Structure formats: C-alpha cells, structure tokens
Structure 1
C-alpha cells in the first residue's frame, strides 16, 4: 500500500521527502467551479505554465471559497457563475468587503450580457466563456493578474509613505512577509519598541477570538499582561479577530503556564472562546518563521474546535516513540486488509474508531489529517472500481472523489463527510460483492433493478428480456440472493430513499416518485413498516443528530 505522504505539509513548507521553497513573488490562486473536470483542467494548466502561480484552493461552491479566503490571502480567483449553495456573483459581492482584493475572473458557459454586466459591476476584471479557454488565454489572464497586483502593491506602498501608516499596520505587514532573521526593517521597528533580536529567549503567541470583540480592549489586556509579567514585548492586531503578542521570558518551564494564564484573562474579559498558538524562538529562527509556526499551531486548535493553547513544538505526524512511522499508519493498513478480505463491516468500524482516535490527537497537523482521510477513501474506491458500475453508482463515487479537493476547516465537518462517504461505499461494496457471486441471469436482474428501480418494473418483464420463464427466474433469484424479487426491489428503493432524505430540499412526495412508490402515502407506510419511523420522523432525527455533532 503506497501512502501519499509527500502531499502533507510539514513546518515551514517542508515535505517528508522534499523541501519546497516558494518565491516571495509567488501568486496564490483559488478556483471555484462545481464541474470537477473543469476544475482539474484549469488547475493543471496554471501549474504547467510555470509563471509563479500556485493553486492554493479548489472549491465546488462559493461558500467554501469564501470561508477559505477570509483567512488566507488570495491574489487571483477563478469562479463559475452557476453553482450550488453560493453562486459566483454572490461570491463576488462578498469579496468586495475584503481588505485585500484578488484579481477576479468569471467563468461562464453562457454568452449573456446580463451576467457580464453584473459581474463587472461587482468588480470582476475578466469574463471568460468556458469553451474559449485555452492555454494562451490563461497565460494572458495570469499576466494581467500579476500587473494588477503589482500596481496595487505599488499604490499600497505609496499610501503607507504618504499617510504614515501606524506602527501596528507596519508590524502586520512585516511579520507576515519576514522570513530572514536579519530583516533590517523589522529589526528597526522592534528596536524602536525596546525589543532586540539579541534576546535569546522569546515567545510569540498567535491569538484568535471566536467571535466579535472590542479590538481596543483586547490590546489593552495584552499590554497589561506584559506589564504584569514585567517583560519586554509588544502586541498588535492582524485582523478583527487575530492578534499577535511576543515577549522575552526567563523561565523556560513556566513559559507555557504564562500563556495559559493569558488565555484565562482574555476569555474572562472578552466573553468569547480563545484559541492560542505558541512558538518559542530557536537558533536562526526569524520573526516571520515564528509567526508562521504560531499561526499553524493556532489553526490546529481551531481545526479540532478545542479552545486553549497549542505549542508548535508539541505538534507532530510521526508515531510516539517511533519517528520512522507515521501516526495511525497501522490503522490505515488494517482498513486495507479488511477491504481486501471483503470484511466491509469490520473496515467501516475500523474507520469509525480511527476517526474517534484522531479527534483526540490534537497534536496532528490539519493537512495531515485530511491526507490520512483521503488515503483510506482511495482504498475504498480501488475496491469499488473492480466492479462494473451503473451511471448512478458512478455519480455516487464521483461525489466521494470531490472530497479530495474540498478544504477542511473543521475536523467535525470533515469527519461527518468521510463517515457518510464510507457508509455509502460500504453498502455499495456489499451489494457489488454479492452480485459478483451470482449467476449471469441473477446479475442481469440485479443490474436492471439498480438502473430502473424508480420505474414500474416487474420480474415478468425482466424475465422476458433475459429469455427465462418468470417462475424459474423467481426461484433462481431467491436461491442465490436469499430474498424474493419484490423484497429485494423494495430494499433498494428504501435504501435510495434514505439517501434522498438527507437533502431537506427534496419533498417526501418527490422522493416517493423518484424511488418508484405509488405516492407519498404508500411510501410512508412501507418506510414506517421497515424502519419503525415515518420518512418525516427519520429526516428530523438525522437533522437533529447532525446539529448535535456541530454543537459538540
């Protein structure tokens, strides 16, 4: 079993087997498109052009992209117009409120003036028809995007000079770009505050408030903390919710206890939960590097939805006591063994237990957790691809593949999506492996049911199509599957209806029609006899369980 660990980002852009060095002029691209092929094509072409652009995020709707862009700088965004949840035009409207504006490119399959006019009003720089996208047109778009951002950067620098931007804003810019411990401008700014790089023991804390707060009060509390601890340091805001404080410390053992004390003060006075990431200075570690480390540790706490302090030093992806082995490698290997032996229930239970354990392993990097989930999803897909799939089944596995490209902002959301995918693939594998052991006529009957369950079908018409008598087909089907034709058909219809009930936008009447029942009353009666709940009660329970998981 080959693991895709080379895609897991380690501290400071390092991979397990390679080191990635990004240029300071690297331009960050986000692609928002609900068509998987289009997403992958644009991403590949941008990377193939090698013009200093890197695709940092790929999303299937505007809501996912907006959540990502609110916490990550983006230089260029390509977005479709018509998408579920949040369309491209609504995304453009939300982007207008951002401090840093990306170069906005609208992708559309429709040559309609009304779309183009509204997109331009919302700040789009380009409106491109999908059929007209070529490698050369992409090159031209990216060249214009770089010019646009270069001009904005020049204007920003001139504004900082002419308006005399505050020290806090200068620090915000400097610490985000600083990578060299000898950054002259940053050293000058710090020395003006009485903070010198010659201090051997420095600590930097990245703080994120989970809610709306008063910025002035937060800064006052941070500066009072420095006074109380009688240490040299400074504090400033990075955004309305993110703040940075760094200071000199003397007692190494108690340095984290100081941070814990700070968290209690902030939570008590601000009235919201607080997430803190901590980085302690080591030899040749610049301020920018310390900030990135602390920011990564803070992101870790937010990912697991566990307020509190996370030290960068305690984060890892290797097994405790065995640095040559990745965390939970043996668990993933066991899942693969279960799947290979067709022990699908055992594999599903192993996944559930693994995710429970991961939820408590707060030392893991979020990117590593996402890669780990992708790894065992791939194991499931490899088993499924051994079988002939119906168009509907191909659509279901395609939905699972979309999870590979989605950003994971919180572990509980990732866990929910993964468990849902594993449950679907487990049922599919059980069904397919059962079909594989049946005779050719029974396989034909099962395949027909899978493709036509929404229609009025009978064993008589299927028997005619495979040149068997109805009585013989009925006897053979029950012998090999252990079920009557009518019972098997009903189970398939009920299983499909349960999947549709997860989508609250589909009415009970529509589900009844889509799954081959006579009407909503017939569907409700059969559903309750089988599950002990009406479809409406089942849907309500699922929604309630989902809500409880989010709250937790």
Structure 2
C-alpha cells in the first residue's frame, strides 16, 4: 500500500485530495498533511512517504525548494506536482529537480489523478519498465537521462552512442488543445507519428500535457530536414501539439543540454501559435520593447480613461511578436497582468466595486492562456468590459451633477479642470465621457448655455449689451458680440429688435 503525503496551503484542496485517496484505501493510505514545503520535508525525513502530492506556490517554502530538499537528502520519495499554473517553465524546472509528474488542478479529474498516482507508484516499485524501445533504454532510463543525477545510466548511454556512432535529437511535445484528454493517450499518438516517419524514439511523460522524446539519428539527418518532416505532422493551426527541438547530441551530457534547449524552444509557441515546430537557436537579440515604459504608459491611459490608446498599446505589443525572445514571455505576462489589475481596479473604484469583475482572477487567467494572440484578445475583451462599466457609471448621476453645476455657475470663469473635478474624473477622461453623453465638447456646451441666457436677457430686460456680456461670463463685450453672432447669425442688438 502506498503512503501518500498531501501538501497544499489551501485547506479545501487538502480535504478534496484526502477524499479522493481515502475512497481507495486498499491501494493508498494518507500518511499526513502539510501546509508548506518545510512541514512536508520534516515529515518525509521523520516518517517517510512513498508519494508526495504538492502545490508549487506556498508560504515559507515553495514546492520547488521542497523537491530540491528531498533530493539533497537522497530520499526515494516520488513527487507529483499539482499546480494552478499551466506554465511550461515550471514543469521543466520541476522535472529537472526530480518531480515525477506535473498536473493542473483545474483540469485533472479524480480518475486521472488516481491513474497518475498508480503509475508513479509502479515506477517507485520498479514496475514502470516497459520493453526497451530506444537503444535498450526504457521509460525510466530516459527520464533519468534527461533529468540527470544517474551516472550509471549516463555511462550506459555514452557507451551505446559510441558503439552505434549515433546521435540523438531531443524533442518536446506540448499539447495545444486543452479540451483534449490529458495524459498518456496523446503521447502515444506522438510516438506513433515518429514511428511512422521511420524514427527510432523513446518517450518520457513530463506532465499531463508535455512529453519529451529522444530520437535516434543514425542516418545523420540535418536539423532543417527533420524539422520539415515534423512540421507536416503537426497539421498546422488547430493541431493537437507543438514541438520544440534541439540536437544533435553525442553524449548524455549533451542530451541534457539539448533537452533544456528544446524546452526553451517549445516556449516560443507562445508567439507562433498552435501546431508549430520551434528549433532552438542562440538568441542575441535586444529586448523587443521597453516593458517598464509600456507599463507606465498603460497606467497613464487607464487613469485618464483613454481606452482606445490603451487598446492601441496592447495591439502594438502583439504586432511586435517577431522581435521577442523566450525571456520576453514572462515580461509580457507581467505587463498584461499589470494592465488587467489596473483596469479592474479603476472600474471597481468608479462603479462601486463592480460585482461583474469580482470573480475575475488575472493571474489565473493569464497563466492558463497558451498563446500571445489569445492572451491579447482576452485582455482587450477585459478592457472593453471595464470601459463599458465605467462609462455607464459615469452616466446619468455624474452627468446631471456636472450639467447642474454649469447651469448654476455659467456666469463665472469655468475651466475644464474645475468642471472635471465635479465629475470626479481626470480632464482628459472627462472630455471623452462628456462628449459621448452630450454630443458636444465642454467648451461648446458652456457657450450654448451662456448664449441661451443672453437671449433671455435680451428679450426680457433692458440691460445694455455690456452688462449682459458680463452677466453671462464674458469679460469682453466685443468677444461676446462675435460669439453671439457666430451662434445665431445676428448681433445681440439685432436679435433684441427682432424678438421684442
């Protein structure tokens, strides 16, 4: 019976996991619980566990540090990472530290979790050793080769490569269709594709959506040739997976480096979209854009309510994708998260908490989106949603307050800054909202109000043109006469004669 340790800072998740495994008490026993990596490491040292199921982001000690601690103590415990984040770099790092599987909380079912745990348990017992398909190496040995720390396996691979005078290409298959069943099924599809191309390959499942492959290159295939053959298998847009690749490698050490490079290349699908083959290349390009400046500009646009300029900034980010490198992916995600947080906060301030946005979690949303185009579309939809909420909120109540203020103070010197303060918005943003609501600029509307009051005085009082000009807010009678004529087509004196 396998002893399971459940590690998560979320009590609800721990309770759910406990129910999953306790309902199969003939196979598993829940040995304990921990709220962070430090508690988990102490438990493993003190009491031991066969399998640990752990979150990644936790207080005090995160999942990655915990896994590293296990390996430093040479504990045989197998680790399954159960994370909220569909971040390929986390999966890669988890594998390099010795994790057995990387699963997503929002996508894994109870049945799939149990099956993965059984598979890891079989590996622990030495039962996960299928018939050798790659130069005599099975699944377990392939995992040992790409993760490192297994001198005997490395030496065996080096001897085999020398004997065969062969080379190895490293491929990383990444599932692009989240709706497809996760796990081993599509990995078998990938293996069948390589076999159909006449390639001798061994597969290793990194996570439920990422599979590594070592491909024997005994014929001296060139990189471009291999990439072209693989490209025809992905089927273009909408294909079930993308590929990262690097090689050839001529030793176990080079295989690990090639695997790391293939993982890095696979991340470029973020820019290129689904169904692509990404070949690793040394990247010496300068950063594609100044992300700090872009973030500051975004904050300014949000504060000023300049929604179109904000969307233009995001569109500009997307259009520059050919200039970005792998290092820019995390910067882009941070930029998009900053923009999302800013527009949500702005909408909530303007709309009395905006309940429509309370369930929106930018970090989770952005972390689950695989491609830049999809991420940009999501952010633009969020911007439009927040814009509509703010503009509706700036509607009747706010506008009535402003119009009443103008009506009561038209005879005084009114500036855009003064009027916008009454509305509670910045001057630039207030101009946009005011024009959308009234069809006129603030100055045009104020002029209309002043001229209407001047008309009333001209027809109901005997005041001079000079006094009427002062009463409606014009210091210069000559300028008042000009504006009046531009608005009515006649001078004030002529208007008085025609309407008395």
TM-score (structure 2 length as normaliser): 0.48
Larger radius of gyration between Structure 1 and Structure 2 = 2
TM-score (structure 1 length as normaliser): 0.45
